[in-house]
Amino acid sequence: MAVLAPLVALLYSVPRLSRWLAQPYYLISALLSVAFPLVRKVPPFCLGLPTQREDGNPCDFDWREVEILMFLSAIVMMKNRRSITIEQHVGNIFMFSKVANAILFFRLDIRMGLLYLTLCLVFLMTCKPPLYMGPEYIKYFNDKTIDEEIESDRRVTWIVEFFANWSSECQSFAPIYADLSLKYNCSGLKFGKVDVGRYQEVSTKYTVSTSPLTKQLPTLILFQGGKEVLRRPQIDKKGRAVSWSFSEENVIREFNLNELFQKAKKLSKQREGAAMEPVIEEDLRAPDTLQSGDSLANGESKKDK
């Protein structure tokens, strides 16, 4: 069962994964990730390459290259232990594969290493990962609207994600957050997002670091009564983010979404009931008014008679 479960999960994800990998960004990333094996194993690219093999075969890995590839596999397995989505798994494979490719190319020939590194830099600067475009009930804030919206109605509970488009962690969390908004959004519990990579004033005010090495992206903050009451990941006394896994289960548990949703629904019903009371009273008075009017009309007609 320990072997079958991951295989079943992988097969279940194949259709979505194939659509995901078919996008140009991931196709190019996959090609860069397997560049060295292609050059080393496929003729005529491999012909004439230097090798440390005893048989002198340039179209096969030598012992040092195998060692580097095995070390890469171990690192990927360790990193993927904390991965949640299939996108995070594949993203880790791509990232560490490129690092290993760069090392192998530099070891083979410094010119090939520089060429590969240049291609990777051009790819990073020109190709951006596709953003999540699925269904969601999320309001996007800017530096001016976030405070206005949160404080406009203090009865509304807000969960706001502070994200940056360049962050792979934010991109992996986007479909999870969208799914949560579809399940729990109501008039008393709302979901929002603000791009702190674009609005630096917001990141400064809410102390969300946007450094390339930060562990604070994404950050989820729960606002009640217009004030922050909970955030994940937490920040320790030294200003460092405490490691936290952004899985759907963790968000539901840590933010008590089920309880918040039920309270928000009850509050919405109470507000709707309070708004309907004057209408109901008017409807109840209407027959009396008509009845008295009818009797008055009847009285006048009798008197006239």
- Residue 298 falls within a domain, yes or no? no
pTM: 0.64
Pair 105, 189 in one domain: no
Q: Is 175 exposed, middle or buried (0-12, 13-18, 19+ CB in 10 A)?
A: middle
Q: What is the pLDDT of residues 271-285, one digit of tens each?
A: 666 655 554 444 544
Residue 239 has pLDDT above 90, yes or no: no
Residue 95: per-residue pLDDT? 85
| DSSP helix/strand/coil, 124 | helix
For residue 207, give the DSSP letter: T
Question: pLDDT class for 252, splitting at 50, 70, 90?
Answer: very high
Pair 153, 250 in one domain: yes
Pair 109, 157 in one domain: no
Residue 152, both tokens: 């406009």
Pair 248, 147 in one domain: yes
Of the given ranges (46-55, 112-121, 185-194), which has the lowest mean pLDDT? 46-55
Residue 274: per-residue pLDDT? 62
Q: What domain range includes position 29?
A: 20-126
Residue 157: per-residue pLDDT? 93
Residue 119 has pLDDT above 80, yes or no: yes
Residue 304: per-residue pLDDT? 43
Pair 38, 120 in one domain: yes
Chain centroid to CA 121 = 25
- Residue carrying the six token digits 């090392």: 103
Domain boundary among 97, 126, 155: 126
